[in-house]
Amino acid sequence: MLQNFDEKIKKLNHADEVLNVLLEMLGYYSSPNFHFTENDEDFDAEYVLEIENLRYTLLGIKVLRDCDEGEIARQHLKYWNRNDVPFAILALPNEIRIYNNFTIGKQKLLYKTGTGKREDIDIFTDSSIANGILWKKIKAATSKNKRVDRCLLESLRNTILVLHRKYGMQPDAAYNLLAQCIFIRYLEDRKMLTETAFEEYGVKDFNGLLCLENAGCIQDFFQSSRIDLMVTYLIWIISSGQTKDRYGLYRSFLQQRKFTRTAQYNLHF
């Protein structure tokens, strides 16, 4: 019974013990699709399916030894940003949580010790995956409209509309500018641009550079980095009026953190 399972989990003070009980219950120890990972900061273990000689990670398991809600939220946001692993199971002290990585908001939490239904965790057993039970429910749990690429494009569209309607910027110019901003953040996430690139300006990243609202610094950064980032558009924006409000809009767009090192976007740089 789920109640007995939940009570057993609640008595465990260490996340590693919770992980062991979880893996036994799900039947993963004997599954050829399950393996522990090495040198992977995102997941400690994975359940991987092989289809036509291609491997797909269905779910990742992460052990968190402190039940820090802020860290849990950041972990899920990271998985959502990756946009490649549908589900994540978190093993915490006294608790198990299962997340839908393809959505954000209230629907992201699929199961939590003490509040979930037995079927919510049973569908993730090795036998349920093999028998197709999980696949009958997966469609409802993976709405395309909540995936990171869809959300990013919707956010991009809305920001362009604000720039056009409120500031009179032509849509093509706004699109090109924001595309370059995404490109910079992509380089930052890929560690191609690090804090060293921004040291001489007294900031740590591109968002900090925008906060300076200094056309000279930003133009110098583009030129020294040898990146063609549509400098004309950016300098026009900084030099024109209502700069602070407009910069707030750019920062708000960038701070949504909907940029990932693995996603590919149909944008022209």
For the stretch 92-124, pLDDT in tens is 999 999 998 888 777 788 899 988 777 888 899
33 band by pLDDT with thresholds 50, 70 and 90: very high
pLDDT at 150: 67
Q: Are 60 and 79 in contact (CB under 8 A)?
A: yes
Mean pLDDT of 128-132: 87
Mean pLDDT, rounded, of the chain: 77
Q: Are 66 and 93 in contact (CB under 8 A)?
A: yes
Strand partners, 56: 49
The beta strands (E) that lie in 52-155 are given as 54-63, 87-92, 95-100, 109-112
265 band by pLDDT with thresholds 50, 70 and 90: very low
The rounded distance, in Å, linking the Cα atoms of 127 and 60 is 17
Q: Residue 179 has which token pair?
A: 């595309």
> Positive or negative, the Cα torsion across 238, 212, 209, 157?
negative
**Whole-prediction pTM:** 0.59
pLDDT at 38: 92
Q: What is residue 87's DSSP assignment?
A: E
By CB atoms closer than 10 A (0-12, 13-18, 19+), residue 214 is: middle
pLDDT, one tens digit per residue, over 217-259 is: 876 776 665 444 444 344 444 445 445 555 565 566 555 444 3
pLDDT at 45: 96
Selection from 157, 126, 161 nearest residue 48 by Cα: 126
The rounded distance, in Å, linking the Cα atoms of 88 and 99 is 5
What is the gyration radius of the CA atoms in the chain, in angstroms? 22
Residue 266 pLDDT more than 50?
no
Q: Residue 44 has which token pair?
A: 């400690």
91 band by pLDDT with thresholds 50, 70 and 90: very high
The rounded distance, in Å, linking the Cα atoms of 114 and 5 is 9
143 band by pLDDT with thresholds 50, 70 and 90: low
Mean pLDDT of 174-179: 76
In words, the CATH class of domain 2-144 is: alpha beta
